[in-house]
Amino acid sequence: MSNYKNSSICIETARQVVAIKIEREVSLLKKYRRSILATKIRNKSSIAEILLEEARMAKQFWREFGKLLYPKIVFLNRKPKSVDAVNHLLDVGYHHLTNVVKKILNKYNIPMDLGIFHIARNSNSQPLAYDLVEMFRSDIVDAEVLTFLRLKKKKPEKIDNQISHFLYEINKRLDKEFYLKDFNRCHKYKYYMEVQILKFIKAINHKQVFDPIMLPRRHENRCS
C-alpha cells in the first residue's frame, strides 16, 4: 500500500471514506433537525487537505452534537480519554466498534498494519481498522450516545455501571436492518459494514477508486 498511498486513486479513495463519515454525521443531525455547513471535501486534492476538511466538519458536528445534550449535559468538544460521561461513552463505543471491524478483517485474513490516514505506532498497531471504522462511527456510536443520554431524566453522575447496558444497545444497532439498494433487500448493519470493508479492500488490491455502498439518506420503513 506504500506506493498506492501517494497515488491519485488513493487520494480519491481517502476522499470517499471521509465523505461517507461526514454524510453519516449530517444524516444523524438531520434526525434532530440540526444542520452544519456543506462540506468542501470534493475540492481537496491531497490527504493533508482531506484531513483538514474532516477536522473542520468535525468541529461543527461536535458543536451541534453538544447542543442536543444541553442543558442536561454540557459537552464542549470531543476529547478522547476524557473522564466526562459523553467522551467516556464515545471512547467505549468506538473501541467496541473498532473490534467489530477487526473481526471482519481477521475473518478474511486482511492485514491491518498499513492504513491511509492512521500510521503504525508499533509492531502491534492496526491502523487500517481505525481508518475503516470512521465510516460507521456516527451511525452506531454517536447515534447511541445521543439516545442513551437524552433518555436520562437527569445528568448521569456515574456512567461506569451503565456501560454494559450501553454496549447492549450498541449491539442492537449493529443488528438493525437497513434497506440496501445495491442488493434490493434488507440486511443487518453488520452485513453492510462487512460489504463496505470488502469493497474498500478490493479497490485497494486492484488499485481502483473505492466505490462505496450508500445507506438510505431518509428514514424508511421497508425493514421495520
Kindly report the pTM of this predicted structure.
Answer: 0.94
pLDDT of residue 14: 92
- Written as nine digits, the cell of 48 is 493533508
pLDDT of residue 221: 75
pLDDT of residue 194: 98
pLDDT of residue 136: 98
CB 109 within 8 A of CB 94: no
Quickly tell me which residue has 458536528 as its cell: 61
pLDDT of residue 5: 59
pLDDT of residue 2: 45
Quickly tell me which residue has 465523505 as its cell: 19
Residue ranges covered by each domain of the chain: 4-205
Q: Buried b vs exposed e over 128-153: b needs ≥16 C-beta within 10 Å?
A: bbbbbbbbbbbbbbbbbbbebbeeee
Looking at domain 4-205, its CATH architecture is Up-down Bundle (1.20)
- Written as nine digits, the cell of 36 is 452544519
Residues of the chain with pLDDT under 50: 1-2
173-204: pLDDT as tens digits: 999 999 999 999 999 999 999 999 999 999 98
pLDDT of residue 9: 86
